[in-house]
Structure 1
């Protein structure tokens, strides 16, 4: 493993541990997806739940339903219903299963603006909760 790959993997592990937002950019074909897979494989499944989507034609509805499917939940026809259901599932994973959720959207640069806005919305939601004294509360902005 090169020094650059080792450093990037370390930074991604730090981001996962601290529930931070991270973006990986580099030239086409240099191994970004391979790096992400290596990261996913290195995380303890007892501590992390990794959700992975890679679809350049992803719509907002399929974004939410793809994540719901990975969580073992039924998809929803309406985007708002899917969004609400996803939030409920994520809270369950955090509060009951005590796992950190790592959401990976591979090839996100190819997504349409509308879908990117939904990714941003979900990230704001995920990053807006901080664990304090064993419970989750909304971070002040």
Structure 2
């Protein structure tokens, strides 16, 4: 069975529950809206922010939605998806994104990074927005180095916005005494939790409507099963919903019922 067969069977104009959904069509459930608002405030105030959540909670999706609304001519986004490249790798990524040629020596490179971040705002009137995804993988030394980048002066604001995005362990680690100086610099922090049942139901219907189906395709019982198994986390909801659609197609049924949802849950738990 191909995706085109599945799409044709249900009369979808596009496949629902995929990653390719445009930013403007994302489902605005409360946790997502709150995260986007916090990120936007962090950027506007040139502050350090922390967004945490379990795997699949929608952290990166919220970041993508918030950054998409920034005025491109006034912001320079530096997105680092893999912080295991170390502090030298992070400095190099920032310098390269800002049009510089990274220095060889680490000490010089750190100074170069700070200078380019300041220059981007002071000379080009563009605010750098440094986003580090999977930030729970950063070591204490690297987190402290990031704090030093924001340490531009006693009374002056930072020359850039810093956003750390990661799993809940990041939030807990920042409370360690060794990271107290960084923790005190964090102006906004938000933990994205799973959706409740009504929000999950609305999420599923929103994606189906975007794909061209405004009628009832998932039964209430099926949605309840998917919600319970996914704990309301969007990525798990997506995976289970697609599997339930496939199970329904294979059974030659018109509605995704509770048996299709249970089949999807079993398949995804193996």
> Match of 2:89?
62
Q: Give the direction of change, closer, same or farther, for the CA distance of 1:128–1:25 in structure 2 (3 Å limit).
A: farther
- Residues 56, 90 of structure 1: alpha-carbon distance in 2 compared, 3 angstrom cutoff: closer
Partner Cα separation in structure 1 for residue 78 and residue 154 of structure 2: 15
Aligned residues: 131
For 2:124 and 2:83, the matched residues in 1 are separated by 31
Match of 2:142 in 1: 115
Separation (CA, whole Å) in 2 of partners of 1:41 and 1:105: 16
Which sections of structure 1, spanning at least 5 residues, go unmatched? 132-141
- Give the helix-richer structure, 1 or 2: 2
More strand by share: 1
Are 2:114 and 1:95 aligned?
no
Residues 126-137 of structure 1: pairs in structure 2 closer than 5 A: 129-130=156-157
Corresponding residue number in structure 1 for 2:32: 5
Kindly state the Cα deviation for residue 56 of structure 1 after the two structures are TM-superposed: 3.7
Equivalent residues of 1:53, 1:106 under 8 A apart? yes
Shift of 1:86: 1.2
Residue 20 of structure 1: how far off its partner (Å): 1.3
Change (3 A) 1:43 1:90: same
TM-score by length of structure 1 reads 0.83
RMSD: 2.0
Task: Please tell me whether residue 48 in structure 1 is matched to residue 75 in structure 2.
Answer: yes
1:3-57 deviations in Å (ceiling 9; x for gaps):
2211221121111101111100111111111111222211101221111112141
Q: TM-score, normalised by structure 2?
A: 0.45
Paired with 2:94 and 2:153, the residues of 1 have a C-alpha distance of 13
Within 1, Cα distance between the matches of 2:143 and 2:153?
15
Gaps of 5+ in 2: 1-27, 159-270
